[in-house]
C-alpha cells in the first residue's frame, strides 16, 4: 500500500505504508537520534506530532517488552522513515516495528527521502502535515489540503491527553517527591526511585497545596504542546514557588517554571530532538551530551535578575537550563533521565535532591 505525506505549504512526499492503513495529521518534526525509536515513540512529549527519523535504518532491532517504554502506548500521530527493516534481530525483541504500529493504529511511511524532508523542516521550520495511505493511483491524485483539517497540537491544552487521571505512589521511602505529570517519561520515576525517594505522581492540574499529601519537593515533568496552554499548572507552580518549596523542572517543566516565575517562552524554528545535543554548564564551563525533545524555549531576558542561566545549547545558543540564585528552584530543558540517549545529565537529580 502506498502513502503520502502532505505538508501545509503543499509539498508532498510519496512512500510505502508499513504501519496502520489509516490517515492522520499533526505537527511534522524530526529527530536526529541513531537509536531509541521504542523510547521516542512512547515519549508523551511527541503527542500530536508526526515524527521523522533522520537515521536511515529503522526497525532493525524490533520492539522490546513494555517495561522498556516511556509510557503505556505509542504517542506519535505518525512515523516517517527512509528504510524500514522488517526482519529485526535482537535478544529482547517481541515483535517488529511494523507489527507494533499496526497493533496501535499508527500509520507510518518508508521509502521517503528523510534527508530532503529534514532540510525543508530545518530551513522553513516545523510544519503541519497530513499522512494518508491508499493505492498508488489514489496517492498521485490526492488533492492537496494545505491548512484544512490538519491537527495542531499547539492550539489547545494537550496535557489532559497524556497525564494520569489520579494520584499514584511509587516506593515507600521517607522523603517524598511530588511529580506533576504533564506527560512524564517513566524513566523520571525510575531515576528518582534509584535515589531512595518515594514518588507521588499527580495529574497536570493537581494543586498540592490544597491536598493533605506531605511532600519534600516538586518535580514538573516533560510533556507536549505550548507551555502557555497549561494555565492551571502555571498557576499551581506559582503558588509552590511562593512557598519556597524545592522545585525542579524538566523540559516542558522548565518552561512552566519560567512562566510561573514571571518569565516568557517562545517557539523554536525547528526544535531540538535527538540524543546528540551538546550543552554547556555556565557554572563549570563543562559540556555534556544530552537527550532532547522540545519545540519551545525559555526567554532568559524575560526573567528577573534573581535568576541565572545554567545551561546553553552549543548548537544555537538557546537556553537549556535556569536556576534561582538564592531559592531552591532549578530546571533544565533537556532530559537528564535520558532513555534514549546519553546519561551525562543524570547528576542533576542529585543536584535537586540536595535541596530536599
Other Cβ atoms less than 10 A from the Cβ of 94: the count is 13
Annotated catalytic residue within 39, 186, 251, 272: 251
337 is catalytic: yes
335 is catalytic: yes
Q: Which residues contact 219 (CB under 8 A, 6 or more apart)?
A: 177, 178, 179, 180, 188, 192, 247, 248, 249, 250, 253, 352
173 is catalytic: no
Grid cell 545554567 — which residue? 310
Annotated catalytic residue within 272, 294, 324, 335: 335
266 in Cβ contact with 299 (< 8 Å): yes
Other Cβ atoms less than 10 A from the Cβ of 88: the count is 17
**End-to-end CA distance of the chain, in Å?**
55
Annotated catalytic residue within 39, 132, 186, 337: 337
- 76 sits in the region (left: phi over 0; alpha: psi -120 to 50; else beta) called beta
- Burial pattern 134-170, b for ≥16 Cβ within 10 A else e, equals beeeebeeeeeebeeebbebbeebbbebbbeeeeeeb
My answer on whether omega of the bond before 210 falls inside 30° of 0, hence cis, is no
Q: Which residues contact 310 (CB under 8 A, 6 or more apart)?
A: 281, 282, 283, 320, 321, 322, 323, 330, 331, 332
Active site residue ranges: 251, 335, 337
Amino acid at each position: 500500500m502506498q502513502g503520502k505525506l502532505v505538508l501545509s505549504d503543499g509539498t508532498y512526499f510519496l512512500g510505502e505504508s508499513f504501519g496502520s492503513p489509516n490517515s492522520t495529521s499533526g505537527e511534522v518534526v524530526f529527530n536526529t537520534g541513531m537509536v531509541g525509536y521504542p523510547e521516542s515513540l512512547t515519549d508523551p512529549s511527541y503527542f500530536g506530532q508526526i515524527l521523522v527519523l533522520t537515521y536511515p535504518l529503522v526497525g532493525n532491532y524490533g520492539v522490546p517488552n513494555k517495561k522498556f517504554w516511556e509510557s503505556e502506548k505509542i504517542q506519535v500521530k505518525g512515523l516517517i522513515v527512509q528504510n524500514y527493516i522488517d526482519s529485526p534481530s535482537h535478544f529482547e525483541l517481541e515483535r517488529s516495528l511494523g507489527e507494533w504500529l499496526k497493533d496501535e493504529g499508527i500509520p507510518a511511511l518508508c521509502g521517503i527521502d528523510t534527508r530532503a524532508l529534514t532540510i525543508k523542516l530545518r530551513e522553513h521550520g516545523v510544519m503541519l502535515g497530513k499522512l494518508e495511505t491508499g493505492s498508488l493511483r489514489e496517492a498521485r491524485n490526492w488533492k492537496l489540503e494545505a491548512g484544512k483539517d490538519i491537527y495542531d497540537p499547539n492550539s489547545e491544552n494537550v496535557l489532559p491527553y497524556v497525564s494520569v487521571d489520579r494520584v499514584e505512589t511509587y516506593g515507600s521511602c521517607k522523603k517524598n517527591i511530588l511529580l506533576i505529570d504533564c506527560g512524564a517519561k517513566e524513566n523520571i520515576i525510575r531515576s528518582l526511585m534509584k535515589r531512595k525517594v518515594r514518588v507521588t505522581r499527580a495529574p497536570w492540574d493537581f494543586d498540592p497545596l490544597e491536598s493533605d499529601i506531605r511532600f519534600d519537593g516538586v518535580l514538573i515533568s516533560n510533556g507536549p504542546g505550548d507551555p502557555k496552554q497549561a494555565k492551571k499548572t502555571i498557576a499551581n507552580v506559582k503558588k509552590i514557588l511562593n512557598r519556597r518549596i524545592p522545585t525542579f523542572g524538566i523540559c516542558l517543566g522548565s518552561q512552566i517554571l519560567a512562566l510561573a516565575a514571571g518569565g516568557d517562552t517562545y517557539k523554536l524554528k525547528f526544535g531540538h530532538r535527538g540524543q546528540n545535543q551538546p550543552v554547556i554548564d555556565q557554572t563549570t564551563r563543562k559540556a555534556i551530551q544530552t537527550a532532547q525533545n522540545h519545540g519551545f524555549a525559555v526567554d532568559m531576558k524575560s526573567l528577573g535578575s534573581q535568576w541565572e542561566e545554567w545551561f546553553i545549547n552549543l548548537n544555537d545558543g538557546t537556553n537549556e537550563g535556569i536556576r534561582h540564585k538564592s531559592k531552591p528552584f532549578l530546571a533544565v530543558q533537556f532530559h537528564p533521565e535520558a532513555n534514549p540517549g546519553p546519561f551525562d545529565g543524570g547528576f542533576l537529580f542529585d543536584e535537586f535532591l540536595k535541596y530536599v
